[in-house]
């Protein structure tokens, strides 16, 4: 153990003396720190802003005057998605999905106003997020710092001196590995602090711990990759060039190739195409605005029979409201069916890309990080589903008001000047308030299981590679 420690300390002293390594590490720490600070401020602002909009939207709804209830169905409601605490580290898909949805009767709108549509277009390759720095830049920093950790000793002949003096190969490798991982951990520090901060502001501790552990594994993996290449190469130049090639392949190429492959293999499901199918179904269902649509004849007959009357005007409920409720229900079924298919397709497309995690640890950590931070595609879908549930609930409550609080006769004569077809504004209280909560920690941990397996797989693979390379280390 003592030899290991000595080798680690010696490596650090070497970095300190050559200055290149210390400069690189310094830059890494400063960049991460800056990005953590900038992102924390931005996410807080966004959170406050969206909370504010949510409140405004709810109070506006409640403040609406006496009206015809169907007007409120079209007046609709807005919901805003609050950012998850860890999105200050891993913004994930948040910038690419809209963060607000307009909820109204008869339609499922998509989320609008994605940040990227309002950006300068400069951040398509890189972003200032701490996650990007950790995933893409930290491996590069570790390469610059450590590419020669073994090859340098080989070229100078000091490796053989060490080994002939009885230092074990394992001790040399462990010492160098710890030195390398140490440099990565320094850069991880700001991120760990930010995660603690996220715990303080309400994120589950399991999640933040798991999150930091994931990045720790990632640093171990890259430390091992750097050490492996340095061990099997005979010259500094070869180890450097090989590591840079590996970095380009693993950190830049494969993530992009994964996305292009997924997009080319599984064609993107368009919402518009689904819309046509929905419209087709709707025409069969009948137009809920038009109670005399023949599509509702059966409904009418059933209702008349049930209440034992001959004319819809004699029904104890407002038939137009009944139709509105009935058609909204049918329509929502169809809409949900298509929305689910679309979400399924999106997830299976994303999963193709995620399987590239077996080819690149960067893809694994990226997926893992999004899953843990709750900035993944599935969370966005959950937002869409929860918004839809809210939409259906308040629309149907309004239709219920339409049925029971508005007289049929008044309703059909609503456009006549002497008729006031309105209900009391107090009825608007049916709107329940919306707040999008992050998934519980265990659920997120469960979701990211496969991707933590990918990370472990990489740990094992790289350790095995080092073991193999160490056999011919003395040569």
Examine residue 128 and tell whether it contacts another protein (CB under 8 A): yes
Q: How far is the CB of 466 from another protein (least distance, A)?
A: 21
3-class DSSP state for residue 108?
strand
Nearer to another protein, 350 or 445 (CB): 350
Residues in the interface with another protein (CB under 8 A) total 91
Q: Are 340 and 332 in contact (CB under 8 A)?
A: no
Q: How far is the CB of 421 from another protein (least distance, A)?
A: 10
Q: How far is the CB of 348 from another protein (least distance, A)?
A: 10
* Two tokens, residue 222: 């890259």
Among 1, 121, 306, 475, binds another protein (CB under 8 A): 121
Nearer to another protein, 8 or 73 (CB): 73
Q: Packing angle between helix 169-200 and helix 20-63, nearest 10 degrees?
A: 30
Identify residues 391-420 at the interface with another protein (CB under 8 A): 414-417
CA distance 17 to 210: 36
Identify residues 350-389 at the interface with another protein (CB under 8 A): 350, 353, 366, 370, 376-377, 380
DSSP 67: B
Q: Which of 416, 420, 396 is nearest to 407 (CA)?
A: 420
- Residues near 300 by beta carbon (within 8 Å), at least 6 away in sequence: 312, 319
Q: How far is the CB of 134 from another protein (least distance, A)?
A: 14
- Provide the H-helix boundaries in 64-133: 69-75, 130-132
Among 1, 2, 59, 124, binds another protein (CB under 8 A): 124
Helices vs strands, H then E, count in the chain:
19, 3
Examine residue 113 and tell whether it contacts another protein (CB under 8 A): yes
Backbone φ, ψ for residue 360 (5° rounding): -150, 125
Q: How far is the CB of 124 from another protein (least distance, A)?
A: 6
CA distance 219 to 146: 13
Among 60, 168, 468, 472, binds another protein (CB under 8 A): 60
DSSP 420: -
Nearer to another protein, 272 or 305 (CB): 272
Nearer to another protein, 233 or 462 (CB): 233
Dihedral of CA 346/48/215/183: which sign?
A: positive
Examine residue 108 and tell whether it contacts another protein (CB under 8 A): no
Examine residue 44 and tell whether it contacts another protein (CB under 8 A): no
Q: How far is the CB of 350 from another protein (least distance, A)?
A: 4
Q: How far is the CB of 45 from another protein (least distance, A)?
A: 11
Identify residues 285-344 at the interface with another protein (CB under 8 A): none
Q: How far is CA 337 from CA 97, 323, 334, in A?
A: 21, 21, 5
Nearer to another protein, 10 or 346 (CB): 346
* CA 272 centroid distance within chain: 24
Q: Are 400 and 325 in contact (CB under 8 A)?
A: yes
Examine residue 98 and tell whether it contacts another protein (CB under 8 A): yes
- DSSP output for 226-243: HHHHHHH-SSHHHHHHHH
Q: How far is the CB of 159 from another protein (least distance, A)?
A: 18
Mask for 132-151, x = binds another protein (CB under 8 A):
-----x--x---x--xx---
* CA 412 centroid distance within chain: 48
- Provide the H-helix boundaries in 248-311: 254-265, 271-285, 297-307
Q: How far is the CB of 108 from another protein (least distance, A)?
A: 11
Nearer to another protein, 165 or 264 (CB): 264
Burial of 458 (0-12, 13-18, 19+ CB in 10 A): buried
Identify residues 150-179 at the interface with another protein (CB under 8 A): none
Identify residues 2-41 at the interface with another protein (CB under 8 A): 20, 38
Question: Residue 356, Cβ neighbours under 10 Å: how many?
Answer: 22
Among 14, 75, 197, 457, binds another protein (CB under 8 A): 75
* Two tokens, residue 347: 């997830």
Q: How far is the CB of 268 from another protein (least distance, A)?
A: 5
Q: How far is the CB of 326 from another protein (least distance, A)?
A: 20
Identify residues 227-266 at the interface with another protein (CB under 8 A): 236-237, 240-241, 244-245, 248, 252-253, 255-264
Among 44, 71, 169, 405, binds another protein (CB under 8 A): 71
* CA 362 centroid distance within chain: 16
Nearer to another protein, 209 or 238 (CB): 238
Nearer to another protein, 311 or 417 (CB): 417
CA distance 204 to 448: 15
Nearer to another protein, 4 or 444 (CB): 444
**Side-chain half-sphere of 230: how many Cα atoms within 13 Å?**
26
Among 44, 169, 271, 330, binds another protein (CB under 8 A): 271
């Amino acid at each position: 153990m003592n030899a290991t420690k000595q080798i680690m300390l010696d490596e650090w002293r070497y970095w300190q003396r050559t200055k290149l390594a210390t400069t690189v590490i310094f830059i890494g720490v400063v960049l991460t720190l800056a990005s953590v600070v900038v992102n924390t401020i931005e996410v807080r602002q966004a959170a406050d802003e969206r909370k504010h909009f949510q409140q405004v939207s709810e109070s506006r709804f409640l403040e609406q005057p006496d009206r015809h209830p169907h007007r409120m169905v079209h007046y609709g409601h807005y919901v805003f998605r609050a950012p998850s605490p860890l999105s200050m580290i891993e913004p994930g898909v948040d910038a690419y999905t809209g963060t607000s949805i307009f909820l109204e009767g008869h339609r499922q709108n998509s989320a609008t106003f994605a940040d990227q549509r309002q950006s300068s277009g400069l951040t398509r390759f890189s972003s200032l997020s701490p996650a990007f720095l950790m995933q893409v830049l930290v491996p590069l920093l570790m390469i610059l710092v450590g590419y020669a950790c073994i090859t340098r000793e080989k070229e100078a002949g000091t490796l053989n001196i060490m080994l002939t003096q009885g230092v074990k190969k394992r001790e040399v490798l462990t010492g160098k590995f710890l030195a390398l991982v140490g440099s990565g951990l320094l850069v991880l520090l700001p991120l760990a602090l930010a995660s603690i901060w996220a715990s303080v502001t309400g994120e589950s501790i399991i999640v933040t711990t798991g999150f930091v552990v994931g990045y720790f594994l990632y640093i171990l993996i890259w430390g091992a990759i750097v050490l492996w290449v340095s061990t099997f190469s005979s010259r500094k130049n070869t180890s450097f060039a090989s590591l840079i090639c590996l970095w380009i392949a693993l950190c830049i190429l494969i993530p992009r190739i994964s996305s292009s492959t997924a997009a080319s293999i599984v064609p993107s499901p368009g919402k518009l195409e689904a819309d046509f199918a929905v419209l087709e179904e709707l025409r069969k269902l009948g137009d809920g605005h038009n109670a005399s649509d023949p599509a509702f004849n059966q409904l009418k007959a059933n209702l008349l029979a049930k209440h034992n009357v001959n004319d819809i005007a004699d029904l104890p409920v407002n038939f137009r409201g009944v139709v509105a409720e009935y058609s909204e229900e049918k329509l929502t079924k169809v809409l949900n069916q298509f929305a689910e298919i679309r979400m399924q397709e999106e997830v299976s497309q994303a999963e193709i890309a995620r399987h590239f995690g077996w080819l690149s640890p960067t893809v694994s950590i990226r997926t893992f990080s999004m899953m843990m931070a709750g900035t993944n595609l599935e969370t966005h879908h959950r937002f869409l589903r929860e918004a839809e549930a809210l939409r259906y609930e308040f629309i149907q409550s309004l239709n219920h008001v339409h049925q029971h609080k508005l007289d049929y006769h008044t309703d059909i004569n609503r456009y006549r000047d002497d008729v006031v077809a309105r209900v009391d504004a107090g009825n608007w209280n049916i709107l329940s308030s919306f707040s999008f909560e992050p998934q519980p920690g265990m659920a997120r941990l469960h979701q990211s299981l496969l991707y933590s397996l990918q990370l472990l797989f990489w740990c094992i693979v790289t350790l095995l590679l080092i073991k193999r390379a160490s056999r011919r280390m003395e040569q």
